[in-house]
């Protein structure tokens, strides 16, 4: 008997019982929707149901994940032997690097999916609805936005918190105000700050070696700039992602490929992505001008990040990843076209502002997106009201 | 109960469960968020409110027939303020460190909605004995939630209870910390207090579904 048949039998067997959603989930995931076009009549066929949407986002994320696995190993070995950085391309795609990725990054993915889907199953059984696909993307995003050395139990606690408080209390997929993946990230950041910032967590094994003779350090670029230090990475490294950082957010190049997939399939809004980059560039330019006008001098603690050239801000830190994969979440973002421009622009603008002024943590993308998530309905409200007013005026002019 | 009639007993027990000032009436939230990072502060706050509300209800109840209704809010404020100053001075005299932790929030008991609420809703219309029971009941209902929130926040946030290191020592890596456990710093921030109160409300409403409002 085939898997499909087995699952179908299970589904029939448990029909109507409390546990039904849990058994149906796999069948639903693999074989539904199974409607085919009937003979006769005219049909409008739309293939973009929730599950297909989610799958395309996951496909767009896969390059980032694979790159992140290689990068985990590369940063580890390069931190031990700095000469590896001389020839990145020769030393990057090696099996040793991938192996570190497999033992460090894959567990993050498995724990994220395992714990998150368990919570989803429990809620589906209690509330008696089908398991929703919403977690499939969140579960993939989460391991990509945490440092590689995040302890797995911390990730589990954060995932439970994020799924329950960030999503289920509001009514599940589609009802949440905040992006669940970012809620998880924010929880980790506020609950365990020593594991989410500093120079010890971004490179595999740096934590264990602290204080020993062969200690290794892997400060992120933002971390170095925040301390007014020079960094040793070239623009090419920064753009391609051969730098320390959260697992999947280092490679701006692959993120842009993901963005192209999302825009081409019309799943991610190009308005949000573009305006987020524009917003970040504008804020970066303003800071550059502030430095050029000698208002901020080298003695200031803001100097390092303010003096960063505006386009460089776009390639370092999590800005690109946040703008492409997080800000475009259709549930928590703005819905109106004009609203999307404002929403995206403010995300980029505020991200760079927080990046420069936040004393504890030189990155602001997740805070900026969460903040704008909260304001997205307000923006939409005023856009709609503005439109209503404009049209009312138009009728007045006609009748007058 | 032999000592109390059924009606009087309900004054004590109702605020503990289905008419809890924090989880059902959603009063006194500010102090529940602000001072519950430590269990000790929660307990002292609970006792202070118990004193102020129990005594204040009796005083207002005794004066209820001579307070002109136009200035009753001012009279109530003076009564609360007097009692709060007593609490504040006692704390400063006998527990100075703690009074610094509670800082402005002892003074802010005056503005705690539960106290003015009970004065208005109950003490102005009932005799001193019943007013006393009502005050005690509501203060205990408030205190129970405060202590529950304080318990979880201190245990998960600092790994201590009343200052004792119940989970081991985070610096010497003993107890739970030896296997990699870390304190949850988020628990010490006020937003987490709101979420803990929210979870308590959630638990209470799922146990007693009659409390869920229609909408």
Q: What is the pLDDT of residues B37-74, one digit of tens each?
A: 888 888 888 888 899 999 999 999 998 888 888 898 89
| pLDDT band, very low/low/confident/very high, at A34 (cuts 50, 70, 90) | low
Write out the two tokens for A247: 């697992």
pLDDT of residue B209: 77
More confident residue, A360 or B174: B174
More confident residue, A170 or A400: A170
What are residue B164's DSSP bridge partners?
B161
Q: What is the ipTM of this complex?
A: 0.83
Mean pLDDT of B125-133: 88
**Measured between CB atoms, which of B185, B189, B202 is closest to A192?**
B185
**B111 preceded by a cis bond (ω within 30 of 0):** no
pLDDT of residue B3: 67
pLDDT of residue A213: 60
Mean pLDDT of A373-377: 93
How many of the other CB atoms lie within 10 Å of CB of A4?
12
pLDDT above 70 for B181: yes
Q: Which residue of B has its CA nearest to A164?
A: B199
Q: Which residue of B has its CA nearest to A208?
A: B180
pLDDT of residue A111: 93
- pLDDT tens-digit readout, B27-46: 878 888 888 888 888 888 88
For residues A344 and A275, the answer to whether their CB atoms sit within 8 Å is yes
| pLDDT band, very low/low/confident/very high, at A37 (cuts 50, 70, 90) | low
Q: What is the DSSP letter of B174?
A: -
| pLDDT band, very low/low/confident/very high, at A161 (cuts 50, 70, 90) | very high
A102–B contact, CB cutoff 8 A: no
pLDDT above 90 for B176: no
pLDDT of residue B215: 62
How many of the other CB atoms lie within 10 Å of CB of A341?
21
**Measured between CB atoms, which of B180, B184, B189 is closest to A151?**
B180
What's the whole-model pTM score? 0.86
pLDDT of residue B2: 59
Mean residue pLDDT across chain B? 84
The CA radius of gyration of chain A, in Å to the nearest whole number, is 23
pLDDT of residue A156: 93
pLDDT of residue A278: 94
Q: Which span out of A20-24, A202-206, A348-352, B5-9 was modeled with the highest average pLDDT?
A: A348-352
pLDDT above 80 for A253: yes
- pLDDT tens-digit readout, A81-128: 777 777 777 788 888 888 888 888 999 999 999 999 899 888 888 887
| Angstrom distance (rounded) from CA B94 to CA A383 | 59
Q: Distance between alpha carbon A165 and the CA centroid of its chain, in Å? A: 18
Substitution target in A168, A191, A192 with the highest count of B β-carbons within 10 Å is: A191
B chain contacts of residue A193, beta-carbon cutoff 8 Å: 185
- pLDDT tens-digit readout, A47-73: 667 777 888 889 899 999 999 999 888
B187–A contact, CB cutoff 8 A: yes
Q: For residue B185, give how far its alpha carbon lies from the nearest alpha carbon of chain A (Å).
A: 4
| pLDDT band, very low/low/confident/very high, at A212 (cuts 50, 70, 90) | low
B4–A contact, CB cutoff 8 A: no
Main-chain phi, psi angles of B161, to 5 degrees? -135, 120
pLDDT of residue A374: 93
Given an 8 Å threshold on Cβ–Cβ distance, is A157 in contact with B202? no
The CA radius of gyration of chain B, in Å to the nearest whole number, is 19
A chain contacts of residue B173, beta-carbon cutoff 8 Å: none
Write out the two tokens for B42: 């929660």
B184–A contact, CB cutoff 8 A: yes
Domains of chain A: which residue ranges?
Answer: 51-387
Given an 8 Å threshold on Cβ–Cβ distance, is A151 in contact with B195? no
Angle at B211 between CA B209 and CA B215, to 5 degrees: 95
Q: Which residue of B has its CA nearest to A151?
A: B180
Given an 8 Å threshold on Cβ–Cβ distance, is B182 in contact with A187? no
Main-chain phi, psi angles of B90, to 5 degrees? -60, -45
Among A50, A53, A58, A55, which Cα is nearest to A267's?
A: A53
Given an 8 Å threshold on Cβ–Cβ distance, is B182 in contact with A154? yes
Among A216, A132, A113, A211, which Cα is nearest to A173's?
A: A132
pLDDT of residue A35: 67
Given an 8 Å threshold on Cβ–Cβ distance, is A187 in contact with B186? yes
- The count of CB pairs under 8 A between chains A and B is 22
pLDDT of residue A347: 93
pLDDT above 90 for A384: yes
Q: Transcribe A326-346 into DSSP letters.
A: ITT-TTTS--SHHHHHHHHHH
| Angstrom distance (rounded) from CA A61 to CA A258 | 6
| pLDDT band, very low/low/confident/very high, at B1 (cuts 50, 70, 90) | very low
| Angstrom distance (rounded) from CA B135 to CA B131 | 6
Write out the two tokens for A35: 């409607």
B129–A contact, CB cutoff 8 A: no
Q: Transcribe B22-37 into DSSP letters.
A: TTTT--SHHHHHHSTT
A chain contacts of residue B195, beta-carbon cutoff 8 Å: 165
B215–A contact, CB cutoff 8 A: no
B49 CB contacts (<8 Å, ≥6 apart)?
B28, B109, B112, B114, B115, B139, B142, B143
Any idea which of A199-203, A270-274, A276-280 has the lowest mean pLDDT? Answer: A199-203
A153–B contact, CB cutoff 8 A: yes
Among B39, B56, B27, which Cα is nearest to B146's?
A: B39
pLDDT of residue A107: 92
Q: For residue A224, give how far its alpha carbon lies from the nearest alpha carbon of chain B (Å).
A: 25
| Angstrom distance (rounded) from CA A104 to CA A97 | 11
pLDDT above 70 for A335: yes
Mean pLDDT of A222-249: 80
């Amino acid at each position: 008997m085939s898997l499909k048949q087995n699952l179908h039998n299970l589904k029939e067997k448990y029909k109507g019982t409390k546990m039904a959603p849990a058994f149906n989930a796999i069948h639903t995931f693999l074989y539904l929707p199974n409607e085919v076009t009937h003979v006769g009549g005219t049909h409008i066929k739309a293939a973009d149901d929730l599950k297909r949407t989610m799958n395309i986002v996951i496909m767009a994320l896969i390059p980032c994940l694979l790159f992140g696995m290689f990068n985990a190993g590369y940063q580890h070995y390069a931190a031990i032997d700095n000469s590896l950085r001389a020839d990145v391309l020769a030393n990057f795609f090696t099996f040793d690097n991938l192996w570190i990725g497999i033992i460090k990054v894959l567990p993050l993915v498995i724990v994220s999916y395992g714990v998150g889907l368990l919570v989803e199953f429990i809620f589906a059984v209690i509330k008696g609805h089908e398991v929703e696909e919403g977690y499939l993307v969140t579960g993939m995003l989460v391991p990509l936005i945490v440092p590689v050395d995040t302890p797995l139990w911390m990730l589990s606690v954060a995932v439970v918190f994020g799924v329950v408080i960030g999503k289920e209390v509001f009514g599940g997929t589609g009802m949440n105000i905040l992006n669940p993946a970012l809620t998880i990230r924010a929880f980790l950041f506020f609950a365990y700050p020593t594991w989410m910032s500093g120079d010890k967590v971004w490179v595999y094994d740096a934590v264990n070696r602290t204080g020993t003779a062969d200690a290794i350090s892997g400060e992120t670029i933002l971390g170095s700039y925040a301390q007014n230090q020079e960094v040793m990475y070239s623009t090419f490294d920064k753009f391609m992602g051969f730098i320390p950082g959260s697992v999947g957010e280092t490679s701006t190049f692959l993120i842009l490929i993901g963005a192209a997939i999302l825009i081409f399939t019309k799943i991610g809004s190009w308005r949000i992505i573009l305006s987020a980059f524009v917003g970040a560039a504008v804020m970066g330019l303003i800071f550059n001008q502030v430095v050029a006008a000698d208002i901020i001098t080298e003695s200031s603690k803001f100097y390092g990040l303010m003096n960063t050239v505006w386009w460089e801000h776009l390639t370092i830190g999590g800005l690109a990843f946040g703008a492409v994969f997080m800000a475009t979440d259709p549930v928590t973002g703005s819905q109106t076209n004009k609203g999307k421009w404002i929403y995206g622009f403010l995300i980029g603008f505020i991200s760079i502002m927080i990046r420069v002024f936040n004393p504890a943590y030189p990155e602001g993308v997740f805070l900026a997106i969460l903040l704008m998530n909260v304001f997205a309905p307000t923006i939409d409200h005023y856009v709609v009201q503005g439109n209503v007013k404009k049209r009312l005026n138009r009728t007045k002019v006609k009748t007058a | 109960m032999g000592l109390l009639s059924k009606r009087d007993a309900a004054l004590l027990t109702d605020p503990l469960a289905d008419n809890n000032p924090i989880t059902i009436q959603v009063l006194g939230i500010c102090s529940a968020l602000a001072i519950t990072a430590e269990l000790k502060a929660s307990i002292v706050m609970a006792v202070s409110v118990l004193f102020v509300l129990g005594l204040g209800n009796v005083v207002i109840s005794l004066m209820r027939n001579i307070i002109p209704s136009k200035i009753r809010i001012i009279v109530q404020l003076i009564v609360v303020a007097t009692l709060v100053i007593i609490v504040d001075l006692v704390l400063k005299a006998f527990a100075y460190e703690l009074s610094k932790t509670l800082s402005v929030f002892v003074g802010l008991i005056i503005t705690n909605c539960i106290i003015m609420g009970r004065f208005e809703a109950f003490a102005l219309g009932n005799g001193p004995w019943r007013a006393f029971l009502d005050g005690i009941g509501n203060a205990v209902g408030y205190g129970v939630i405060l202590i529950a929130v304080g318990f979880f926040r201190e245990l998960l946030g600092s790994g201590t209870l009343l200052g004792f290191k119940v989970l081991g020592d985070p610096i010497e890596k003993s107890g739970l910390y030896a296997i990699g456990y870390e304190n949850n710093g988020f628990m010490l921030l006020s937003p987490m207090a709101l979420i803990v109160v929210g979870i308590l409300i959630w638990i209470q409403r799922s146990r007693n579904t009659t409390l869920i409002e229609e909408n």
